[in-house]
């Protein structure tokens, strides 16, 4: 009575994805192989695990039992990878950093330049991304996030306060200055849907002209003169074609954090990167706050 651990992994992925093909893609093998691993697992456990349907493999209850434990095994295997990475004392090899796209251009490039001059042996990968890269799966070693929460198993350090303010094209700035009573168009986040709270009382007429789910796009819209956008002050100031407008006074915004999984926080490369990153943000605090 002995099961192949990798067969359990196959069961786990088929339970998760529902089809052989999807599971195979995740596992990086041919789906035929997945089918055969399932068959082997069923033989080893002496029980049927899936109903073979025309539209996929449907797990029977026993497969859910397997998947529950296999999932815990996966957690442990990820912990192995992090544990090894976290003990890595070399200042060489791969280091993956993830950061919001908009922070990269104006700021991180400079941090990265300094870092790679100091540590030329490190093979630095940057994932510019807004989705939270999964630090548990070690898709990135270190993340720079605009958020107050470091997350559960993660360790973090606050890099900087931030303020936001309202920015728009010079045309809008002119109009707002000259005729503050005219309607002001806003481009806002989907999640909000309305112009921000805390507007200066001089400006009474505000409406939303567009909502959007991506700040890069909103910056583009603002540059094109579509309306006013609330954004972090570092971004508005650094974006050509935008000027600050007094509609929304500067107000606190989400802080900037650097976070990593606790297991890899102390590793040499991650620590070395922090040693460049933290002083940079300390020096440039004025850029992020009003």
Partner DNA sequence: CAGGCGATATGCAATTTTGCATGTATGAAT
Partner DNA sequence: ATTCATACATGCAAAATTGCATATCGCCTG
Which positions lie near its own copies, rule CB under 8 A?
1-6, 8-9, 28, 45-47, 61-62, 65-66, 68-70, 72-73, 76-77, 79-81, 83-84, 87-88, 93, 138
Q: What angle do CA 267, 9, 88 make, to 5 degrees?
A: 10
Q: Binds 29, which of its own copies, DNA, none (CB < 5 to 8 A, cut-off by type)?
A: DNA
Q: How far is CA 87 from the centre of its chain?
A: 25
Task: Write down the least CB distance from residue 86 to its own copies, Å.
Answer: 9
Q: Which is nearer to its own copies, 153 or 217 (CB)?
A: 153
Contacts of 30-37 with CB under 8 Å at 24 or more apart are: 34/10, 37/4, 37/6, 37/7, 37/10, 37/11
| Residues linked to residue 210 through DSSP beta bridges, in sequence order | 187
Contacts with DNA by CB under 7 A lie at: 6, 19-22, 29-33, 35-37, 40, 52-57
Task: Write down the least CB distance from residue 136 to its own copies, Å.
Answer: 12
Q: Which is nearer to its own copies, 209 or 262 (CB)?
A: 262
Q: Binds 20, which of DNA, its own copies, none (CB < 5 to 8 A, cut-off by type)?
A: DNA
Task: Write down the least CB distance from residue 173 to its own copies, Å.
Answer: 49
DSSP 7-49: HHHHHHHHHHHSSHHHHHHHHTS-HHHHHHHHHHHHHHHTS--
Task: Write down the least CB distance from residue 151 to its own copies, Å.
Answer: 20
Q: Binds 288, which of its own copies, DNA, none (CB < 5 to 8 A, cut-off by type)?
A: none
Strands 184-189 and 206-212 come out as parallel
**CA contacts within 13 A on the Cβ side of 280:** 19
Strands 206-212 and 154-168 come out as unpaired
Q: Which is nearer to its own copies, 2 or 117 (CB)?
A: 2
Q: Binds 66, which of DNA, its own copies, none (CB < 5 to 8 A, cut-off by type)?
A: its own copies
Task: Write down the least CB distance from residue 35 to DNA, Å.
Answer: 5
Helices (H), the chain: 5-17, 20-27, 31-45, 61-86, 101-103, 109-118, 170-178, 215-223, 233-238, 262-265, 268-283, 285-288
Q: Binds 56, which of DNA, its own copies, none (CB < 5 to 8 A, cut-off by type)?
A: DNA
Tokens of 17: 């994805």
Task: Write down the least CB distance from residue 39 to DNA, Å.
Answer: 8
Q: Which is nearer to its own copies, 80 or 286 (CB)?
A: 80
Q: Binds 55, which of its own copies, DNA, none (CB < 5 to 8 A, cut-off by type)?
A: DNA
Q: Which is nearer to DNA, 29 or 287 (CB)?
A: 29
Environment class of 68 (CB within 10 Å of its CB; exposed 0-12, middle 13-18, buried 19+): exposed
How many other CB atoms are found less than 10 A from the CB of residue 73? 13
Q: Binds 31, which of its own copies, DNA, none (CB < 5 to 8 A, cut-off by type)?
A: DNA
Task: Write down the least CB distance from residue 191 to its own copies, Å.
Answer: 33
Environment class of 111 (CB within 10 Å of its CB; exposed 0-12, middle 13-18, buried 19+): buried
Rounded to whole angstroms, how far apart are CA atoms 169 and 14? 51
Task: Write down the least CB distance from residue 212 to its own copies, Å.
Answer: 35
Q: Which is nearer to DNA, 43 or 94 (CB)?
A: 43
């Amino acid at each position: 009575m002995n099961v192949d651990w990798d067969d359990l992994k196959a069961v786990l992925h088929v339970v998760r994805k529902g089809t052989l093909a999807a599971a195979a893609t995740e596992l990086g093998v041919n789906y035929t192989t997945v089918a055969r691993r399932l068959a082997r697992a069923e033989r080893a456990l002496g029980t049927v695990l899936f109903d073979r349907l025309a539209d996929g493999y449907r797990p029977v209850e026993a497969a859910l039992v397997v998947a529950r434990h296999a999932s815990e095994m996966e957690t442990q295997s990820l912990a192995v990878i992090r544990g090894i990475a976290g003990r890595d004392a070399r200042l060489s090899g791969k280091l993956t950093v993830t950061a919001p796209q908009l922070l990269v251009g104006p700021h991180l490039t400079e941090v990265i330049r300094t870092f790679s001059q100091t540590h030329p042996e490190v093979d630095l990968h940057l994932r510019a991304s807004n989705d939270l890269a999964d630090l548990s799966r070690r898709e990135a070693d270190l993340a720079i996030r605009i958020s107050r929460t470091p997350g559960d198993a993660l360790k973090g350090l606050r890099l900087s306060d931030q303020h936001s303010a309202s920015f728009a094209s010079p045309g809008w700035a002119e109009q707002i200055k000259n005729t503050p009573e005219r309607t002001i168009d806003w481009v806002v986040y989907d999640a909000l849907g309305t112009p921000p709270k805390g507007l200066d009382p001089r400006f009474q007429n505000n409406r939303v002209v567009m909502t959007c789910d991506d700040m890069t796009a909103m910056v583009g819209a603002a540059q094109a003169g579509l309306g006013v956008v609330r954004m972090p002050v570092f971004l508005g100031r650094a974006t050509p074609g935008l000027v600050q407008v007094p509609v929304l006074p500067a107000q606190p915004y989400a802080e900037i954090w650097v976070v990593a999984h606790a297991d890899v926080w102390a590793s040499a490369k991650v620590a070395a990167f922090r040693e460049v990153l933290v002083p940079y943000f300390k020096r440039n605090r004025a850029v992020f706050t009003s």
